[in-house]
């Protein structure tokens, strides 16, 4: 080989970048998405607040102090006090724990029920698919919040019942999402090969199909957490979600609506907390979708 040929090959090796893995490409796209980074930073702030709540606000956020009722923001009370003289900042900090716990619980209910039924419906088809989809259609016939509202009215108020009610309203979304992905993946060559060698159905579902449908599930999980916080806040605002004196953002917003004219800070800051949390999940979820789906390019 001539020196000129060797030099040309070297130029080609230098000019061609090393091939990135799918995860590396996704991370690179996510880092270039400023909106997704902003959403991720907001979520990290809320997670940090939830973990270190006792350090950020020592004391009992539910302890009343009527002498300090409805005080505006000041050096002592940065976000003011509510109608019972409780620090709004302290209640928002501890309310972060409640809201994130509800969001995680709701998503877990949706995942644990929706994924198996979606896999079975999409993989087997036939009468099983027909039965599952008709039940799903009935659940989807109700608006999500209205369904959660009805279930809470049946089950009763409280954190556990709120999680169950909102989680049930999320189940049909995951069933439809997983089923649609399975209908595509089950026709792939590697699935047909696994069937041909006699691999059992449950191994095909959880070893070959499920890992290949995790991208849309991951994106939906992030977006679903934002919806769960919004639903929980709506139930709390109506007085049928998490009950006082537990510091929950929706309940705080509901109690503060009575003081919008003489003490607007009581409702403003819990509303901003809900807004920022939902916005953070939505921005990060959209960024994940753009980064993980090869059809989207920044």
* Domain assignment present for 208: yes
Tell me, what's the pLDDT at 21? 54
- Residue 15 falls within a domain, yes or no? no
Please give the average per-residue pLDDT across 143-164, as a whole number: 90
**Cβ atoms within 10 Å, residue 4:** 7
Highest mean pLDDT among 30-34, 53-57, 198-202: 53-57
Q: What percent of the chain has pLDDT over 90?
A: 51
| 152 in a structural domain | yes
Q: Which residue has the higher pLDDT, 194 or 51?
A: 51
In a domain, 298, yes or no: no
Inside any domain, residue 182: yes
pLDDT in tens, 61-107: 888 888 988 999 998 889 999 999 999 999 999 999 999 999 999 99
In a domain, 209, yes or no: yes
**Directed axis angle between helix 214-238 and helix 144-155, to 10°?**
60
* pLDDT confidence tier of residue 119, bands split at 50, 70 and 90: very high
State pLDDT tens for residues 132-150.
Answer: 999 999 999 888 889 999 9
As for how many domains the chain has, the answer is: 1
* pTM listed for this prediction: 0.85
């Amino acid at each position: 080989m001539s020196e000129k040929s060797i030099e040309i090959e070297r130029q080609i090796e230098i000019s061609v970048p090393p091939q990135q893995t799918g995860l590396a490409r996704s991370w690179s796209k996510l880092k270039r998405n400023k909106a997704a980074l902003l959403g991720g930073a907001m979520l990290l702030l809320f997670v940090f607040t939830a973990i270190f709540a006792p350090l950020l606000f020592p004391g009992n956020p539910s302890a009343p102090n009527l002498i300090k009722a409805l005080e505006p923001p000041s050096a002592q009370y940065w976000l003011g006090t509510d109608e019972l003289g409780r620090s709004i900042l302290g209640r928002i900090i501890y309310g972060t724990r409640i809201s994130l716990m509800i969001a995680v619980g709701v998503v877990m209910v949706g995942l644990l029920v929706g994924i198996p039924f979606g896999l079975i419906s999409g993989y087997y088809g036939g009468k099983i698919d027909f039965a599952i989809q008709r039940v799903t259609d009935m659940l989807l016939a109700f608006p999500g919040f209205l369904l959660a509202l009805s279930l809470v009215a049946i089950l009763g108020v409280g954190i556990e019942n709120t999680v169950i009610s909102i989680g049930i309203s999320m189940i049909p979304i995951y069933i439809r999402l997983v089923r649609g992905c399975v209908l595509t993946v089950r026709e792939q060559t590697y699935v047909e090969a696994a069937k041909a060698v006699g691999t059992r159905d449950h191994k095909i579902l959880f070893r070959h199909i499920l890992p290949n449908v995790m991208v849309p599930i991951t994106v939906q999980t992030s977006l679903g957490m934002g919806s769960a916080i919004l639903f929980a806040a709506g139930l709390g605002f109506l007085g049928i979600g998490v009950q006082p004196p537990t510091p929950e953002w929706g309940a705080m917003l509901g109690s503060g609506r009575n003081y919008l004219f003489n003490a607007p800070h009581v409702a403003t800051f819990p509303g901003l907390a809900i807004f920022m949390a939902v916005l953070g999940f939505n921005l990060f979820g959209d960024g994940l979708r753009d980064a993980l789906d090869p059809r989207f390019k920044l």
